[in-house]
């Protein structure tokens, strides 16, 4: 297919439904059903990407009762997985009754690099780099002016010799403070200007060739780090289902210790954390792919993949915390464009990027607490299947009466896919007689 992107939306849809679908009319109707009737709003969504043919919905849920640094939040979460929002809400309420979450933004530095090849002497380049460093910064002034006026900008540019890893490979390793912006465009624009200045200066004054390979920000942000924590007396962990708080605390700490040393478990443990993190990142219009890439690299920073959370019992105090790198923005990007992103940010009282880092870290910690609480007590399936029950009922197109009946029937029963389907069949049979 040539020239697909030049077709109108209708032409694109016609081609797709006729080429790939056994029932083109039905496929076309489905796409239309998910369009917004407000044409301006639909156009806004169409223009986020190329070749838009419809909208892909995810539920937007909320988890109330999060006390973070003594402020009460209701956290928006965009996610399809049953039980994530329920688990977050339950953990929020549990910790709200025990003093809430505290957070600390440790640092907010972001990194970008200019990767280049150079075959002259490193000592000559080092000396020359020192002399042109002010010019590298000066040449970016049109890009950095506004950011600097707000208190951010370029923090440093370092010349790094990487020839031990790859022949003739050097880099400018640059650090930035981008305040409330995620800063990808700002950083990449600065880097491309550094690359231009470096190349032209070296080639005209040092008589050596610089081969610029690429200039790009890094999504590895170990210095854009936030810590969130909960703690209480072990005895105060007592709750419905946690009748023996000492035993619970000890098992919980063991479960975290296993994820600290065992990569197979650590990946699943961190996946549960990312259930909470990604849901808030999506709701607030941030880039979950960037966050995912950076978080998992951070989890392997000492050469082995490990848990992002940690737990201790010291002097009868249970403490549970997360340290997670999060490069987030609350201005720019989708934040002023997507109506539900605007809504989500207002729901969070229009946080700064630092506040959003805290909220997201808390969502991850709460999610991990909920998962470990279930795993070390009842097992995960009890809560999971309760939430999944509705998916099964919807899959079999149960009506309200059928749903009410099945939900009541399974209140105190083990939920399995087969058991639900059988019960639904029986109920339908007895009602059709
Ligand atoms: C499921 O989405 C997440 C869990 O597997 C996380 C965990 O095992 O810690 C429940």
Q: Cβ < 6 Å from ligand 1: which residues?
A: 81, 268-269, 271-272, 275, 371, 375, 380
For residue 16, CA distances in Å to 22, 25, 36, 42, 267 come to: 11, 11, 20, 20, 38
Q: What is the pLDDT of residues 55-87, one digit of tens each?
A: 999 999 999 999 999 999 999 999 999 889 999
Q: What would the two tokens of residue 364 be?
A: 């991850």
Output the pLDDT for position 48.
Answer: 93
The alpha carbon of 216 and the centre of ligand 1 are apart by a number of angstroms equal to 34
* Residue 320 DSSP SS3: strand
For residue 320, CA distances in Å to 70, 93, 105, 317 come to: 18, 16, 17, 10
pLDDT band at 385 (very low <50, low <70, confident <90, very high): confident
Active-site hit among 110, 115, 384, 388 = 384
The span from the CA of 29 to the CA of 76, in Å, is 31
The alpha carbon of 174 and the centre of ligand 1 are apart by a number of angstroms equal to 37
The span from the CA of 203 to the CA of 199, in Å, is 6
The span from the CA of 245 to the CA of 72, in Å, is 26
Q: Is 287 a catalytic residue?
A: yes
In sequence order, the β-bridge partners of residue 320 are 230, 311
In sequence order, the β-bridge partners of residue 107 are 225
The span from the CA of 354 to the CA of 225, in Å, is 10
Q: Is 243 a catalytic residue?
A: no
pLDDT band at 384 (very low <50, low <70, confident <90, very high): confident
* 358, pLDDT greater than 80: yes
Active-site hit among 145, 271, 301, 401 = 271
* 236, pLDDT greater than 80: yes
Count Cβ atoms below 10 Å from residue 217 Cβ, excluding itself. 24
Residue with tokens 């506040």: 355
Given a contact cutoff of 8 angstroms between Cβ atoms, the answer to whether 225 and 323 are in contact is yes
Q: Helices in 82-140 by DSSP H: which ranges?
A: 84-96, 122-138
Residue of 87, 271, 273 to mutate, ligand 1, most atoms within 8 A of C-beta: 271
For the chain, give the mean pLDDT: 96
Q: Is 271 a catalytic residue?
A: yes
122-138 vs 141-149: helix crossing angle, rounded to 10:
60
Output phi, psi for 404, to 5 deg.
Answer: -55, -45
Q: What is the pLDDT of residues 147-168, one digit of tens each?
A: 999 999 999 999 999 999 999 9
Q: Quote the pTM value.
A: 0.92
Over range 400-415, report the average pLDDT. 90
The span from the CA of 268 to the CA of 257, in Å, is 14
Residue with tokens 């419905």: 240
pLDDT band at 130 (very low <50, low <70, confident <90, very high): very high
Regarding beta strands 153-161 and 110-118, do their DSSP bridges make them parallel or antiparallel, or are they unpaired? unpaired
Q: Which residue's C-alpha comes closest to atom 10 of ligand 1? A: 371
The span from the CA of 5 to the CA of 46, in Å, is 13
Q: What is the pLDDT of residues 120-129, one digit of tens each?
A: 999 999 999 9
Q: What is the pLDDT of residues 317-348, one digit of tens each?
A: 999 999 999 999 999 888 889 999 999 999 99
Q: Is 338 a catalytic residue?
A: no
The alpha carbon of 424 and the centre of ligand 1 are apart by a number of angstroms equal to 29
Given a contact cutoff of 8 angstroms between Cβ atoms, the answer to whether 276 and 92 are in contact is no
Active-site hit among 46, 177, 287, 355 = 287
Residue of 83, 371, 372, 386 to mutate, ligand 1, most atoms within 8 A of C-beta: 371
Give CA 194 to chain center in angstroms.
Answer: 30
The secondary structure of residue 309, as a DSSP letter, is E
* 383, pLDDT greater than 90: no
The alpha carbon of 407 and the centre of ligand 1 are apart by a number of angstroms equal to 24
Among 210, 111, 113, 115, smallest CA distance to 170 is for 115
pLDDT band at 414 (very low <50, low <70, confident <90, very high): confident
Q: How many residues are listed for the chain in this entry?
A: 433
Count Cβ atoms below 10 Å from residue 146 Cβ, excluding itself. 11
pLDDT band at 388 (very low <50, low <70, confident <90, very high): confident
What ligand 1 atom has the least distance to the C-alpha of 259? 9
SS3 readout for 19-82: HHCCCHHHHHHHHHHCCCCCHHHHHHHHCCCCCCCCCCCCCEEEEEEEEECCEEEEEEEECCCC
Over range 363-375, report the average pLDDT. 97
Is pLDDT larger for residue 387 or for residue 398? 398
The span from the CA of 87 to the CA of 369, in Å, is 9
The span from the CA of 86 to the CA of 61, in Å, is 9
Given a contact cutoff of 8 angstroms between Cβ atoms, the answer to whether 73 and 359 are in contact is yes
């Amino acid at each position: 297919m040539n020239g697909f992107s030049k077709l109108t939306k209708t032409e694109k849809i016609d081609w797709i439904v006729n080429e790939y679908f056994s029932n083109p009319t039905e496929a076309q109707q489905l796409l239309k059903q998910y369009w917004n009737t407000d044409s301006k709003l639909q156009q806004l969504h169409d223009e986020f990407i190329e070749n838009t043919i419809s909208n892909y919905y995810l539920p937007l849920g909320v988890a109330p009762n999060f006390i973070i640094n003594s402020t009460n939040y209701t956290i928006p979460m965009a996610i399809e997985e049953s039980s994530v929002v329920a688990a977050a809400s339950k953990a929020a309420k549990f910790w709200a009754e025990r003093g809430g979450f505290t957070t600390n933004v440790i640092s907010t530095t972001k990194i970008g690099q200019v990767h280049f090849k150079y075959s002259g002497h490193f000592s000559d380049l080092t000396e020359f780099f020192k002399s042109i460093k002010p010019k590298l910064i000066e040449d970016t002034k049109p890009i950095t002016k506004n950011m600097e006026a707000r208190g951010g900008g370029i923090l440093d540019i370092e010349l790094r010799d990487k020839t031990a890893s790859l022949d003739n490979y050097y880099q400018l390793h640059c650090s930035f403070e981008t305040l409330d912006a995620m800063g990808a465009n700002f950083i990449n624009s600065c880097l491309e200007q550094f690359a231009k200045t470096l190349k032209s200066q070296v080639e005209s004054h040092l008589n050596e060739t610089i081969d610029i390979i690429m200039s790009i920000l890094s999504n590895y942000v170990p210095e854009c780090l936030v810590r969130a924590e909960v703690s209480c007396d072990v005895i105060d962990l007592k709750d419905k289902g946690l009748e023996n708080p000492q035993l619970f605390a000890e098992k919980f700490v063991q479960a975290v210790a296993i994820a600290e040393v065992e990569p197979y478990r650590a990946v699943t443990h961190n996946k549960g954390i990312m259930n909470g993190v990604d849901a808030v990142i999506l709701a607030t219009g941030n880039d979950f792919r960037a966050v995912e890439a950076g978080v998992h690299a951070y989890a392997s920073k000492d050469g082995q993949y490990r848990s992002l959370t940690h737990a201790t019992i010291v002097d009868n105090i249970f403490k549970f915390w997360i340290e997670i790198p999060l490069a987030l923005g609350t201005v720019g990007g989708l934040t002023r464009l997507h109506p539900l992103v605007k809504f989500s940010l207002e729901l969070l009282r229009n946080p700064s990027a630092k506040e959003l880092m805290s909220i997201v870290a808390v969502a991850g910690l709460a999610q991990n607490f909920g998962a470990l609480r279930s795993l070390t007590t009842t097992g995960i399936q009890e809560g999971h299947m309760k939430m999944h029950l509705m998916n099964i009922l919807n899959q079999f197109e149960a009506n309200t009466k059928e749903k009410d009946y099945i939900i009541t029937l399974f209140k105190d029963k083990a939920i399995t896919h087969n058991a639900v389907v059988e019960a639904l069949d029986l109920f339908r049979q007895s009602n059709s007689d």
